[in-house]
Amino acid sequence: MISLGGTIGTGLFLASGTSIHTGGPGYSQVAYCLIGTMVYCFMSSLGEMATYLPITGSLNAYGTRFFDPALGFMLGWVYWFSWSITVATEFVAAGLIISRWIPLETCPGWVWAMVFVVLLTALNLISVKAYGEAEYWLSLIKVIAVIIFIIVGFLYIGGAVGTPIEGAPKPGREVFDMSPFHGGFMGLFSIFLNAGFSFQGAELVGIAAGETKNPRKNVPRAIRQVFWRIIMFYVLTILVIGMTIPYDDESLANDDGDIKSSPFTRVFVQAGISIGADIMNGVILVAILSAGNSGLYASSRTLHTLAKEGNAPKFFAFTNRWGVPVYCVLATSLVGCLAFIVSLPEVGQGKAYTWLLSLSSTTGFISWLGIGFCHIRFRMAYKAQGRSINDLPFVSRIYP
């Protein structure tokens, strides 16, 4: 459940609308399918290594062990920075979502960022068990919300609920055909960052393998479910949004790329279920809490592993009696305070979210590339010892 909880966050609930606005529904489908395929490939690679050698904070550990200490050093710090920025991104998103109920003019975004910084830091300082329990229930809420959204979306497209706006394109083919491939190839390429951010967190199943009960059984099961999660939670969601909200609807984003609101909320409003829109807005807040929770967990464990390997200051290796790397959690929360840039008048809430999302996505792609390098070297080392690949607890079937 930890892998699922890490992937369903504001990248899906919020940034998906920007993807539709930038490249249209057609290019959005193409981009999310391509990135989803890539995610399934690297997850299979990571799963093969994580079931054989379950190590907490495994990315940098695998880089050091199978490739070179320099790669392990680089992967560790890049991955820590990537998730630290993701945490800041979630804090900014909190203000955007809450602005539906409380305008930013009434309560600035940095106030909500501070509330989430304190809340998530406290949650991660309690214990690993507290993190796991919270993440399980938060993930369950998100899964149910996405399923309900898809059902309501298709009912709206089919005309079972809601009343289309007079003079506006009807939901379904008319909305989709307005500009399915908007912006040419640049429109497609610009969506890749949003899609990458949406999938970021899938690798958490490997990061948490060292603290997972019976990893040789549970990790492969999580890996095998990735394909169906991609189809259910990303491809169908983008399809529903692309067939219900026109690509040029300013509720998605403006021409400067500033995100205005969640497309999930917008679909419920168009379907005439106003109370559903408010409930969905609340669920998105839960998603922010969950994604930030996962990000703080992943980055703090990565920093802790770096310290144990001698690649970070020694005091980061300290854990309290519950096994929580206290200083690592606090350091990551400090980076999360970058969310306070929303207080700058020339930046604003929507633009700050887009900036942080792009930065997090770029570093995330570097981490995924590192997983591929590590897997190739792992296979080479395993075969060099005269062992059969079929003896591994989990075998990546897509290995070239």
> Do 320 and 326 contact (CB within 8 A), yes or no?
yes
H or E element, residue 161: none
The dihedrals phi and psi of 148, each to the nearest 5 degrees, come to -60, -40
pLDDT(333) > 60: yes
CA atoms of 158 and 137, how far apart (whole Å): 32
Domain definitions of the chain by residue range: 2-391
Token duo for residue 326: 């206290």
pLDDT of res. 326: 92
Token duo for residue 264: 């999930």
CA atoms of 41 and 25, how far apart (whole Å): 24
> Do 353 and 109 contact (CB within 8 A), yes or no?
no
Top pLDDT among 259 and 163 is at 163
Q: Model confidence at 12, in pLDDT bands (50, 70, 90)?
A: confident
CA atoms of 262 and 251, how far apart (whole Å): 8
State the Cα torsion 350-354-355-358 to the nearest 10°: 170
Core vs surface per residue 211-247: b (16+ CB within 10 A) or e: bbeebeebbbebbeebeebbeebbebbbbbbbbbbbb
> Do 198 and 234 contact (CB within 8 A), yes or no?
yes
pLDDT of res. 160: 83
Core vs surface per residue 257-279: b (16+ CB within 10 A) or e: bbbbbbbbbbbbbbbebeebbee
| Eight-state DSSP code of residue 264 | H
> Do 329 and 123 contact (CB within 8 A), yes or no?
no
CATH of 2-391, one of 1.10.10.60, 1.20.1740.10, 3.40.50.720, 3.90.1150.10: 1.20.1740.10
> Do 3 and 202 contact (CB within 8 A), yes or no?
yes
Token duo for residue 138: 């938060």
pLDDT(316) > 90: yes
**If we measure between CA atoms, which residue out of 262, 202, 256 comes closest to residue 229?**
202
| pTM of the complete model | 0.85
**Residue 207, amino acid:** I
pLDDT of res. 254: 54
CA atoms of 284 and 93, how far apart (whole Å): 9
Lowest mean pLDDT: which of 217-231, 318-332, 382-396?
217-231
> Is 282 buried (19+), middle (13-18) or exposed (0-12) by CB count in 10 A?
middle
CA atoms of 197 and 142, how far apart (whole Å): 17
**If we measure between CA atoms, which residue out of 187, 253, 199, 188 comes closest to residue 361?**
199
pLDDT in tens, 365-376: 998 999 999 999
CA atoms of 217 and 74, how far apart (whole Å): 30
Top pLDDT among 385 and 224 is at 385
The size of the chain, in residues, is: 400
CA atoms of 332 and 327, how far apart (whole Å): 9
The total of other beta-carbon atoms located within 10 Å of residue 346's CB is: 5
pLDDT in tens, 182-206: 888 888 888 998 888 888 877 776 6
Mean per-residue pLDDT, 312-341: 86
* Mean pLDDT, all residues of the chain: 82
**Coil, strand, or helix at residue 323?**
coil
